[in-house]
Structure 1
């Protein structure tokens, strides 16, 4: 079950997630955008650390493992965008992850969803996955794109489960997420420097305030999500987070005045129905 406060908080996190995806369009390539977000999150997390409780020592392995998984997610996401269209790869990755989390939670964690929760998860994930079926330029997703999109989904599911359990071990969702984000930023900086040298960081200052704003919204979004993981079933929270795509569709249609196809509106309806089922 999910009480009203957690439900509204996760929807707010989803809105923030959609917001940073809209703001991040600052002219950077995908690799630079992902690196920018990681570094911005870490830079914002560090000055807040003294004001939140320290995670317990038992959580250190969880924090390190989660930071590594987040790096894997970020690198696979870049590859997914390289080999497939964003409009196909992103929904495939985000729609599949909650299904993996649900399956793993039921089999290994003994946290099987109720029939109502399962219906909500299937409706939301089904709506998100439906968006990936739209052909980009009349072409289906190629094999490499599909591989990296599904790999991204596996990393997303893995860090979701690890963060949900790790935050509980840490005894503080805030301390856990801030230390994990800071470590992830350091790891991504090392990886970027190793792979691309100074050139990896050369274009980042051009992002300016939009880049910082995107980092702040991204950090806030996942901070709320990790807290919610400690308050409600991880699989249900993971699924409800994906309503960010519903908000992204609404932002595209109303704020950016972008055309939205009938298929996308139909998918949005399925996602919205899943949200309704959560609250029935």
Structure 2
């Protein structure tokens, strides 16, 4: 992988861990996530006006990805309601490269090497160790965290293929994010109401900033997937589990035990080997 792609994806990993920490620290995470999506939709729509139109072959992938992102949002919010950032985040992010590698092999023709299988074993072992470290992880929390990982894998493979078909990966990104950003408020209003969504609350500026950060992070990832294998990009991106563990320990009051740090390191080692 070219060094500039490596550095860009590492930067995206830091950004991703940061906005997840903002979401985990919020009082109403569904509202915060929806406000983030509104920021994503506005920024994406404005940017799309100045970019070329993606090839029609990619439009269906953009729509499917937007739907998968909404599912990811709902599962992620539920995960953080039930578990800590330092537990939920590594499990959801750590499980996704395994699934992305398999999905890329099945749908994009990317091969799985013996080194990749070793990486899968390390990721699985790290996840089990992490799930058993510190405070006991409940079955619902584990289920939603793993479900979040499945959504991550599904939309990552979808976007990896869609970006390659689009002929314009960044334009594809903003089109998809515009759709996603519009869908999520509609889901929120269906679950609650419009009045609570648009009420001015403490943390609205933080949520809007988090949305812009998440958009930048994912735009970097989609660009990288167009330049390098999906499994490799995903593996490098998931080094964000280490950033999340540090952020959770330093700023959210979560226990940063030696066992948790070692488990995160094993997960990171495995996903780097997958890449």
**TM-score band, normalised by shorter chain:** 0.7 to 0.9
TM-score, scaled relative to structure 1:
0.85
In the aligned structure 2, how far is the partner of 1:209 from the partner of 1:268?
31
Is the partner of 1:230 in helix, strand or coil? Answer: helix
In the aligned structure 2, how far is the partner of 1:147 from the partner of 1:26?
21
Deviations 1:44-81 (A, max 9, x none): 21221123222112211111111001111111222333
In the aligned structure 2, how far is the partner of 1:170 from the partner of 1:83?
38
Partner of 1:13: 12
- Correspondence 1:95 to 2:94: yes
| Contact 1:80 1:149 (8 Å CA) reproduced | yes
Displacement of 1:5 in angstroms is 1.4
Aligned pairs for 1:253-272 within 5 A: 260-271=256-267
Tell me the C-alpha RMSD between the 2 structures: 2.7
Assess, with a 3 A threshold, how the Cα gap between structure 1 residues 259 and 195 changes in structure 2: closer, same or farther.
closer
Deviations 1:77-126 (A, max 9, x none): 22333444444333222111111111222344331233445545654665
Work out the number of aligned pairs and report it.
Answer: 275
Aligned pairs for 1:99-110 within 5 A: 99-110=98-109
- Correspondence 1:180 to 2:180: no
Greater CA drift, 203-212 or 189-198:
203-212
Assess, with a 3 A threshold, how the Cα gap between structure 1 residues 224 and 86 changes in structure 2: closer, same or farther.
same
Is the partner of 1:177 in helix, strand or coil? Answer: helix
| Contact 2:45 2:178 (8 Å CA) reproduced | yes
| Contact 1:34 1:74 (8 Å CA) reproduced | yes
Q: 2:190 aligns with which of 191, 194, 197?
A: 194
Structure 1 residue runs of 5 or longer lacking an equivalent are none
- Correspondence 1:223 to 2:219: yes
In the aligned structure 2, how far is the partner of 1:81 from the partner of 1:112?
34
Structure 2 residue runs of 5 or longer lacking an equivalent are none
TM-score, scaled relative to structure 2:
0.87
In the aligned structure 2, how far is the partner of 1:59 from the partner of 1:200?
35
